[in-house]
Amino acid sequence: MDYLSGQETELLFKQPDTTTPKGRRDLALLTLMYDSAARVQEICDLKINSVSLTVPAVIRLYGKGRKTRDVPLDAPCVEILRKYMKENRLQHSEMSNTPLFFNSRREKLSRSGVGYILSKYVEKANENGGHISEKISPHCLRHSKAMHMVEAGINLIYIRDFLGHESIETTQVYAKANPEIRRKAIEKMEKVINQDGGDGVERVLELRGTIASESWYDDDITPKMFKDELLSGSGDITVYINSPGGDCVAAAQIYNMLSEYPGKVTVKIDAIAASAASVIAMSGDMVLMFPASMMMIHNPATIAFGDHNEMQKAIDMLAEVKESIINAYQMKTDLSRAKLSKLMEAETWMSAHKAVELGFADDIFGKKSDKSAEEDEQEDDETGQEEEQKNAER
């Protein structure tokens, strides 16, 4: 995917000669194409009546299938457009049906015309020290805006709507194309450490964040991400969990992966395993909780709309989801289904001790063994007896 860096974009915008009317038009064209991430045909078709520069400034774009979307504009772009429209007397009502960008014959610019304008300034930018590919097309400005939004940490759902994509999967291409985002996702998912100082290496997977079927950004843990890291090595693994939960279907997939894993799976809850994350925790051959960690279980929930038939379908679906969750809890705890159902109804929060007591966890990480506790108690008794003897001798 071809896109410009921030520095390349800035260099490109410096090339039009703003002392001439044509240069000012070209600057307005390039700036708007980038700022709106519009498709080249959307820019060519843009008319004055689809431009509003009053706060909040937006343009209305007509995309594929004549679907419309309103795109907000940044202040610098608004100022450039305002000057361009004033210079060309485009702000008057009688001009409302006029193309925003036109040639010397007052005809709207064509796609090839826009391409020619862009290539002219790319060539000029390279003459002034740039290294921009001469093969880029006007669509490259759309890609560049999307990539810069991803790099700025903007949610992919917003970017999807901004670009007018039908599916989030199309928008995810931008996140996947950024190597820094991929690196962060990999670092987040798995770290390999040597805990015994010898040749034995324990694989550690860290499940930290919201569980989702699809990754809108690199903060989410998806079954695909988890599977890739789980199967990237072999041997026993430890899974650290700190998650508020998320998609119960995605959690069920991860639970099943860990249940079928051939090596020993140790789950360590070092902060919280709530909601769907508690289901994943049940896959461990050994489940350990840190002293200050928490676990929470509750009924599954969803959002539904429609008539009473649709509402009933949602109710029936949630009932089945609850039953499948109880399956995982019961295999670990040996509690009755009725007891587990009541705990979920009550949205039960469990400390480490409570989770061990109910069977959701096997032990508390770092807790002294029973033998050590007895020795400490015996030592305290002996110390107490010595004190009593000293007091009696005084």
Answer yes or no: 89 catalytic: no
Q: Which range among 2-11, 81-90, 223-232, 238-247 shows the weakest confidence by mean pLDDT?
A: 223-232
Answer yes or no: 298 catalytic: no
Q: Are residues 287 and 349 in the same domain?
A: yes
Q: Are residues 205 and 335 in the same domain?
A: yes
Catalytic residue among 108, 165, 208, 354: 165
Q: Is residue 328 part of a domain?
A: yes
Predicted local confidence at residue 192, as pLDDT: 34
Predicted local confidence at residue 195, as pLDDT: 38
Residue 166 belongs to what domain range?
6-177
Q: Is residue 389 part of a domain?
A: no
Of 292 and 306, the one with more pLDDT: 292
Predicted local confidence at residue 379, as pLDDT: 56
Region 284-307 average pLDDT = 90
Of 174 and 204, the one with more pLDDT: 204
How do residues 153-177 score in pLDDT, each as one tens digit?
Answer: 777 778 888 888 877 667 777 766 6
Q: Are residues 204 and 294 in the same domain?
A: yes
Q: Which range among 141-155, 187-201, 372-386 shows the weakest confidence by mean pLDDT?
A: 187-201
Q: Are residues 148 and 226 in the same domain?
A: no
Q: Is residue 391 part of a domain?
A: no
∠ CA 6-12-16, nearest 5°, is: 150
Tally of domains in the chain = 2
Catalytic residue among 24, 25, 139, 332: 139
Predicted local confidence at residue 188, as pLDDT: 45
Q: Are residues 105 and 53 in the same domain?
A: yes
Neighbours of 178 (CB within 10 A): 16
Instruction: Report CA torsion sign: 21, 27, 30, 33.
Output: negative
pTM, whole model, 2 decimals? 0.49
Catalytic residue among 174, 217, 240, 329: 174
Does the pLDDT of residue 369 top 80, yes or no?
A: no
Catalytic residue among 22, 64, 182, 313: 64
Does the pLDDT of residue 185 top 50, yes or no?
A: no
Region 95-107 average pLDDT = 91
3-state secondary structure the chain: CCCCCHHHHHHHHCCCCCCCHHHHHHHHHHHHHHHHCCCHHHHHHCEHHHEECCCCCEEEEECHHHCEEEEECCHHHHHHHHHHHHHCCCCCHHHCCCECCECCCCCECCHHHHHHHHHHHHHHHHHCCCCCCCCCCCHHHHHHHHHHHHHCCCCHHHHHHHHCCCCHHHHHHHHHHCHHHHHHHHHHHEEEECCCCCCCCEEEEEEECEECCCCCCCCEECHHHHHHHHCCCCCCEEEEEEECCECHHHHHHHHHHHHHCCCCEEEEEEEEEECHHHHHHCCCCEEEECCCCEEEECCCCCCCCCCHHHHHHHHHHHHHHHHHHHHHHHHHHCCCHHHHHHHHHCCEEEEHHHHHHHCCCCEECCCCCHHHHHHHHHHHHHHHHHHHHHHHHC
Q: Are residues 109 and 225 in the same domain?
A: no
**CATH number (domain holding residue 283):** 3.90.226.10
Q: Are residues 139 and 193 in the same domain?
A: no
Q: Are residues 199 and 109 in the same domain?
A: no
Confidence of residue 184 (pLDDT cuts 50, 70, 90): low
Answer yes or no: 39 catalytic: yes
Predicted local confidence at residue 219, as pLDDT: 54
Answer yes or no: 182 catalytic: no
Answer yes or no: 165 catalytic: yes
Answer yes or no: 139 catalytic: yes
Q: Are residues 88 and 28 in the same domain?
A: yes
Q: Judging by DSSP bridges, how do beta strands 237-243 and 58-62 pair with one another?
A: unpaired
Predicted local confidence at residue 176, as pLDDT: 65
Predicted local confidence at residue 354, as pLDDT: 96
N residues, the chain: 394
Catalytic residue among 142, 148, 160, 322: 142
Q: Are residues 323 and 231 in the same domain?
A: yes
Q: Are residues 163 and 294 in the same domain?
A: no
Does the pLDDT of residue 278 top 50, yes or no?
A: yes
Q: Are residues 325 and 201 in the same domain?
A: yes
Q: Which of 254, 179, 260 is nearest to 220 (CA)?
A: 254
∠ CA 133-169-223, nearest 5°, is: 120
Confidence of residue 335 (pLDDT cuts 50, 70, 90): very high
How do residues 67-91 score in pLDDT, each as one tens digit?
Answer: 889 999 999 999 999 999 999 999 8
Q: Which range among 136-145, 172-181, 353-362 shows the weakest confidence by mean pLDDT?
A: 172-181
217, 229 Cβ separation under 8 angstroms: no
